Amino acid sequence: MSDINYDIFRGTTPTIIATVEMDLTGYTCYLAIGRKANQAKVIASNNQMTITVDEGVSTLTFTLTQEQTLSLSEGKAYMQIRLIDMGVALASEWVEISVGPIIQDGVIEDVVD
């Protein structure tokens, strides 16, 4: 394996975990990934997320699809979480990530014998 540590590989179904220091029960949450501002390639929302809240701290777990990660280009990208509840919208700082390559492009399927 390579000495490079990638955060996401294209064509995979990674789980992204974010911890937010507030109770987000009832919030609509979005995870956006892109190369620069206003150019998100992937947007995941509540239907791809589970949330747990413990003592006022929320853990958001987003699972991306193969199609979503295939839409990303190899190299540096950024992630940001946006939240809204009852008209109050918030955004996190951008987090830099790296997107790794794959040899076989495209969606892969389970083979049933």
Query: Which tens digits make up the pLDDT trace of 53-93?
Result: 999 999 999 999 999 999 999 999 999 999 999 999 999 99
Q: With 70 as the cut, is the pLDDT of residue 105 above it?
A: yes
Residue 94 lies in a domain: yes
CATH of the domain at 49: 2.60.40.10
* pLDDT tens digit sequence for 43-56: 999 999 999 999 99
**Residue whose pair of structure tokens reads 């295939």 in the numeric block:** 70
Residue 113 lies in a domain: no
Residue 90 lies in a domain: yes
Mean pLDDT of the chain: 94
Give percent of the chain with pLDDT exceeding 70.
96
Range of the domain at 91: 8-100
CB-based contact 96:78 (threshold 8 Å): yes
Residue 111 lies in a domain: no
Residue 1 lies in a domain: no
CB-based contact 101:2 (threshold 8 Å): no
Strand pairing of 49-54 and 75-85? unpaired
As for how many domains the chain has, the answer is 1
pLDDT of residue 21: 95
How far apart, in Å, are the Cα atoms of 84 and each of 20, 30, 37, 45, 55? 14, 9, 19, 11, 20
The whole-angstrom separation of Cα 32 and Cα 100 is: 17
Residue 105 lies in a domain: no
Q: What is the pTM of this model?
A: 0.89
